[in-house]
């Protein structure tokens, strides 16, 4: 999209948000416009969840290999100049990164960034939710796979359920909204709890999103070749919820705020329910995101596609134009549809920023 193809009023709005005449948006080879950047701040995590890491964890990256705050801000600023409006901070566990409110404040001030969100396991959230909101964070997604304390310990290996529940309360009190809960459904482990988790939305204005389990090499035995966790399609999870709570009401789209989720509501509930079927119903055709790993790789897709080393570009003296070129090159590498089901994915989710 070139400046001379934009109506004058629309162009004025774009300039106000950091877009300048002559600057093209980031568009991939299939016409998908990139407006969303996921930024992994660290590969480190204070939990060892079954579907993400083996019990002993994985070797952490040296600090020198992680992007600095200055480098992260430079990349996000370049992305915003090309039309990226949404940024999500991930990990690992992003709350273990020191001085995080400082980074959030710097990103929130960038022209063009309209939505700044964070995904966390919630363990440290109670102690910092107000500071994050004050710095400019708008909303938060909290991972929560069970409401049973013993099962929570089994899934996370290190965590305590009460810490996450306190974090959810603190996030709500701080005004980080809409508040979302991410639940990975694992057959034989927590799939029977789906109606209980969905029931959280009846009296609370939050969204519980049920995410299909994605077997990874790093999960320590939970692999596609017949590990300890059974894959459950989102359609099956929905059927189970409806068999207990009754038919769900489809909700109209909220645009980018929906992400890949198909949203529903229990009749009369304050909150909503989302289903993300990345494996059974890939949403590749409407994917509008790029990913920045903790070590400075731009990735075109979580599961497939190409990688561009933007850290090397910055540390060799490359400026904004070089970063923009790297963003465009990454978008060109986006696959039409990811090839995970053909066995193509290998990598540490904690480093990529799932």
DSSP sequence for 290-314: EEE-TTSEEES-SSSS-EEEHHHHH
Is 5 within the bounds of a domain? no
Nearest one of 159, 153, 209 to 181, comparing CA atoms:
209
Question: Average per-residue pLDDT in the chain?
Answer: 88
How many domains does one find in the chain? 1
Tokens, residue 88: 């999500």
Average pLDDT over every residue of 119-142: 98
The verdict on residue 8 lying in a domain is: no
User: Considering the domain boundaries, does residue 9 fall inside one?
Assistant: no
Model pTM greater than 0.75? yes
Task: List Cβ neighbours of 31 (8 Å cut-off, separation of 6 or more).
Answer: none
Instruction: Determine, yes or no, domain membership for 300.
Output: yes
What are 341's two structure tokens?
């089901």
Kindly state whether residue 16 falls inside one of the protein's structural domains.
no
User: Residue 17 falls within a domain, yes or no?
Assistant: no
Q: Please tell me the least confidently modeled range out of 20-29, 324-333, 345-354.
A: 345-354
In this predicted structure, which of 81-90, 104-113, 144-153, 251-260 has the lowest mean pLDDT?
251-260
Whether residue 153 is contained in a domain is answered as: yes
Phi and psi at residue 209, in whole multiples of 5°? -110, 125
Look at 336 and 273; give whichever has higher pLDDT.
Answer: 273
Count CB-CB contacts under 10 A for residue 156: 23
* Total Cβ atoms within 10 A of residue 173: 12
- Better pLDDT: 268 or 228: 268
- pLDDT for residue 338: 73
| pLDDT tens, residue by residue, 242-276 | 999 999 999 988 766 667 889 999 999 999 999 99
Q: What percent of the chain has pLDDT over 70?
A: 84
Domain that holds residue 163: 25-352
CB-facing half-sphere around the CA of 19: CA atoms within 13 A: 23
Could you tell me if residue 1 is inside a domain?
Answer: no
188 pLDDT above the threshold of 50: yes
What are the strands, taking DSSP E only, across 191-278?
206-212, 249-250, 262-265, 272-276
Q: Which two tokens stand for residue 58?
A: 């994985």
Could you tell me the CATH number of the domain that includes residue 34?
A: 3.20.20.70
Give the list of residues 6+ apart from residue 232 with CB closer than 8 angstroms, or none. 185, 186, 187, 191, 212, 213
Q: Average pLDDT, stretch 168-184?
A: 97
């Amino acid at each position: 999209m070139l400046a001379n193809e934009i109506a004058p009023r629309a162009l004025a709005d774009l300039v106000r948000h950091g877009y300048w005449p002559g600057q093209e948006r980031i568009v991939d080879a299939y016409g998908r416009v990139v407006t969303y950047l996921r930024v992994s701040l660290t590969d480190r995590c204070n939990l060892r969840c079954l579907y993400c890491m083996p019990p002993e964890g994985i070797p952490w990256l040296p600090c020198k290999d992680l992007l600095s705050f200055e480098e992260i801000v430079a990349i996000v600023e370049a992305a915003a100049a090309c039309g990226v409006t949404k940024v999500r901070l991930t990990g690992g566990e992003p709350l273990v990164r020191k001085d995080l409110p400082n980074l959030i404040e710097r990103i929130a001030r960038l022209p063009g960034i309209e939505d700044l969100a964070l995904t966390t396991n919630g363990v440290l959230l109670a102690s910092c939710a107000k500071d994050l909101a004050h710095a400019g964070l708008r909303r938060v997604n909290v991972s929560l796979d069970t409401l049973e304390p013993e099962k929570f310990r089994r899934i996370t290996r290190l965590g305590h359920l009460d810490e996450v529940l306190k974090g959810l309360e603190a996030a709500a009190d701080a005004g980080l909204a809409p508040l979302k809960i991410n639940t990975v459904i694992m057959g034989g482990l927590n799939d029977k709890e789906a109606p209980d988790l969905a029931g959280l939305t009846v009296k609370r204005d939050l969204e519980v999103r049920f995410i299909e389990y994605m077997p990874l090499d790093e999960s320590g035995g939970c692999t596609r070749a017949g590990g300890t966790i059974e894959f459950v399609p989102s359609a099956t999870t929905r059927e189970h919820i409806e068999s207990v709570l009754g038919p769900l009401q489809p909700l109209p789209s909220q645009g980018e705020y929906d992400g890949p989720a198909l949203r529903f509501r229990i009749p009369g509930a304050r909150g909503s329910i989302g289903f993300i079927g990345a494996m059974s119903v890939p949403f590749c055709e409407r994917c509008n995101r790029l990913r920045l790993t903790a070590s400075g790789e731009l990735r075109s897709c979580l599961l497939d596609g190409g990688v561009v080393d933007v850290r090397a570009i910055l540390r060799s003296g490359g400026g904004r134009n070089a970063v923009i070129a790297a963003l465009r090159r990454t978008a060109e590498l986006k696959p039409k549809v990811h090839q995970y089901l053909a066995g193509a994915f290998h990598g540490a989710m904690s480093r990529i920023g799932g």
